[in-house]
Amino acid sequence: MKIEPVAHNTLAHSVAERLLTLIADGTIRSGEKMPSERNLMDKLQVSRTTIREALSGLAALGIVEIRPGLGTFVKPDARDLVPHTLAALQDPNARPLAKTVKIARDNGSQDTSRPALPPPPEKPVRIPNLKKDRLATFELISWWERAQVQAARVMVVGAGALGNEVLKNLALMGVGNLFIVDFDTIEAANLSRSVLFRAEDNGLKKAEVAARRVKELNPDVHVQFFHGDINTQLGLGVFRRMDVVVGCLDNREARLALNRFTYRLNQPWVDGAIQELLGLVRVFVPGQGACYECTLTEQARREMSLRYSCPLLARQNILLGKVPTTPTSSSIVGALQAQEALKLIHKLPVDAGKVLHVNGMTNEFHSTAYTPDPECESHWVYGDITELPDRKASNTTLAEMLRIARDALGADALIELDQEIVTALECHNCATNTEVYRPISTVGYNEGLCPGCGELREVHMTHVITGRESFLQRPLLAMGIPPLHIVRAHNADEYRFFELTGDLPETIHFAHFEGGAQAPRAARIRLNARPQIKLGAPQPLAVAEQAPSSKPARPRVVLHPVK
C-alpha cells in the first residue's frame, strides 16, 4: 500500500476555511484585529507556518490585511465576501492558496517545494526603461512596490560597519527616506569595513558622512542625519514617524533603549550583530513572539542592573564596545537586515521573535525562536497620543506641561520622565550643591567628583514631576526631554501621552544635502546653521545670572559650585 503524504498546503487550506467560517459566524469580527498568531496556533493546533500561510492566502483573497507591527486585520467587508471565497477555496480546480506568495517557514521544515511566485494580478506589467530609470529592474520583481519603497521612512541607528552596509543597500534599492543616527566620529580603523567612508573623513561625524555618501550613491533618496545619542536625544515622535527601524549597534544598552522605544509605538525593528565570522539577525515586532528584552539572560540583566546601581559608571562602559570583525561579516548581516527592512516595507511576513544565526566559519545558517517573557518590562504599547502642535521641548516649561496633563487627567496628575534626571550633585565635605539637570546617562563619573575635594558627590535625581519642584520654570529641553518627544503623564487610574508636535518641522525633514552631496564644505556650512539639540544647555534664567556671553559654538553645562 502506498501512502501519500498530506500536501503541505492542504493544512493551510483547511485552516483558511476554518478562519472563514469563524468570520462568517461572527466569532472573528469584520473590521477588527485577528487573534494573535500564538492564539490561533493554540486554538487550531497547527504551526505558525501554517497560520501564516493561511493568513497570507486570505490576504491575497482580500479577506484580511496584514499590517506588520500591528497584526492582521479582518477587512470591513470580509463577512460579505466569505461565501464567494469559500466556494472558490472548495473548487478543486482553483487552488487560490497555492498561488499565494509563501515566505513564512520554520527551521527544519521538510517543505522544499515552494510554489512559484507569479506576479500578483493587481500589479500592472510595466516595461522598464533600463537606460533612464535606475530602479527599472526592480519593477520586474513580482512583489516589488515602487511607490511603497520610495515613500518608506527608515531609521538606521548606528553608522558603523553594519550601518554602512545597511544604508548602502537601502539607498541602492531606492528606499526613499533615510534617517541616520550615530554619536561617533570616523577613525582610521573604520575604513577597513565601511564602504561609505574615505581616508579624508577622519574625525568627521559618522552619521553626517554616511548621509552625504548615501545621497551621492542615489540622489533620489532623501536623507537626514542625527549626530547624537539614541538613548536620550531623540524624541519618541521621531520613531513614531518611521516605517522601520534598523539597529546596527554594538552594545546592549542602546539595543534595549531602541527595543523599548519601538515597542511603545508598536513599530518593528531589525537587529543585527557581528563578531569575527559570526553574525545574527533578528526582527522584533511588538506582540509577535519575543522582543529584545525577552532574549536577555539572567546574567545579562544582572550585569546591566549592576551598572545602573552605580549610575555614573553606566555610560563609561557603553563606550567599550569595539568588536573584532570583518567586512564580509558586516556585508552578510547588513544585507540580511536591509532585506528584512524591505520585507517590512512591503508588509510581507517576517519571522518576528526569532534569531537567524550565521556562522561564516562553517557556512551554517540556522534559526531559533526565542521564548517570550510574559513579565518582560518592555511590553508596553502606548495608547492614543495627543499631538500638541504648538508645543516644543524648548518653549514648554515643566509647569506648562503639568498644566496640560492636569487639564486632561485631573489635579493629581504627575509627569513621569523616561529616565532619572540628575538635578544636583552635593558634596557633604565642602557643603556645596551644584545644579545639573541632565539625564543620568549623560553625566560621567568624573563629573561626579567634587572639584573642591575630589570626593564622589551625592547624586540627587528625580524621574517624577509632582508640581512641588523648585525647577518647574525650566523648559522641557533643559530637563533632558528631547524635541518631538512624547511626554507621559498619569493619575491614579490611567496614562496619557502628549507629543511635542511643534518640533516636527525642524526635527524630521529628510532634507540634508538636497543641494547636492558633492560639495561637502558648502553642505557642512549649511548644516551648522541648523540648530542642534543641546541637551543640558544652560537655561535662560541661569544664563542671565552667571553666564559669560562668549560661549563656544557648542555650549555645555559647566558645573558651578554653589556656596
Q: Which is nearer to Zn ion, 253 or 293 (CB)?
A: 293
Binding segment for Zn ion (CB under 5 A), chosen from 62-70, 113-121, 312-320, 426-434, is 426-434
Query: What is the smallest separation between the CB atom of 75 and Zn ion, expressed in angstroms?
Result: 30
Q: Which is nearer to Zn ion, 60 or 430 (CB)?
A: 430
Binding segment for Zn ion (CB under 5 A), chosen from 148-156, 234-242, 243-251, 294-302, is 294-302
Query: What is the smallest separation between the CB atom of 450 and Zn ion, expressed in angstroms?
Result: 3
Q: Is 218 in the site for Zn ion (CB under 5 A)?
A: no
By CB under 5 A, the residues from 371 to 400 that bind Zn ion are 376, 378
Query: What is the smallest separation between the CB atom of 299 and Zn ion, expressed in angstroms?
Result: 17
206-217 vs 520-529: helix axis angle to the nearest 10? 130
Largest CA distance in the chain: 96
Contact string 171-210 vs Zn ion (x = CB under 5 A): ----------------------------------------
Exactly one of 214, 291, 314, 478 binds Zn ion (CB under 5 A); that residue is 291
Q: Which is nearer to Zn ion, 94 or 453 (CB)?
A: 453
Q: Can you tell me the distance from the alpha carbon of 164 to that of 182, in angstroms, rounded to the nearest whole number? A: 11
Exactly one of 34, 171, 427, 537 binds Zn ion (CB under 5 A); that residue is 427
Task: State the sign of the Cα–Cα–Cα–Cα dihedral 133, 138, 144, 148.
Answer: negative
Binding segment for Zn ion (CB under 5 A), chosen from 144-152, 200-208, 449-457, 499-507, is 449-457
Q: Which is nearer to Zn ion, 368 or 429 (CB)?
A: 429
Binding segment for Zn ion (CB under 5 A), chosen from 26-34, 166-174, 288-296, 465-473, is 288-296
Binding segment for Zn ion (CB under 5 A), chosen from 44-52, 68-76, 406-414, 425-433, is 425-433
Give CA angle at 151 (341, 292), nearest 5°: 30
Q: Can you tell me the distance from the alpha carbon of 104 to that of 100, in angstroms, rounded to the nearest whole number? A: 11
161-172 vs 206-217: helix axis angle to the nearest 10? 30
* CA 561 to each of CA 406, 427, 450, 466, 494: distance values in angstroms, whole numbers, following the listed order: 35, 9, 9, 27, 41
Cell readout for 221 is 533618496
460 beta partners? 424
Burial letters 18-46, b for 16+ CB under 10 A, else e: ebbebbbeeebebeeebbebeebbeebeb
Q: Which is nearer to Zn ion, 99 or 379 (CB)?
A: 379
Q: Is 294 in the site for Zn ion (CB under 5 A)?
A: yes
Q: Is 430 in the site for Zn ion (CB under 5 A)?
A: yes
Query: What is the smallest separation between the CB atom of 292 and Zn ion, expressed in angstroms?
Result: 7
CB 260 within 8 A of CB 267: no
Binding segment for Zn ion (CB under 5 A), chosen from 14-22, 87-95, 413-421, 453-461, is 453-461
Q: Can you tell me the distance from the alpha carbon of 247 to that of 245, in angstroms, rounded to the nearest whole number? A: 6
**3-state helix/strand/coil string of 339-403:** HHHHHHHCCCCCCECEEEEEECCCCEEEEEECCCCCCCCCCCCCCCEEECCCCCCCCCEHHHHHH
End-to-end CA separation in angstroms for the chain: 96
Exactly one of 23, 450, 486, 517 binds Zn ion (CB under 5 A); that residue is 450
Task: Please count the residues of this chain forming the interface with Zn ion, following the rule CB under 5 A.
Answer: 11
Positions in the binding site for Zn ion (CB under 5 A): 291, 293-294, 376, 378, 427, 429-430, 450, 452-453
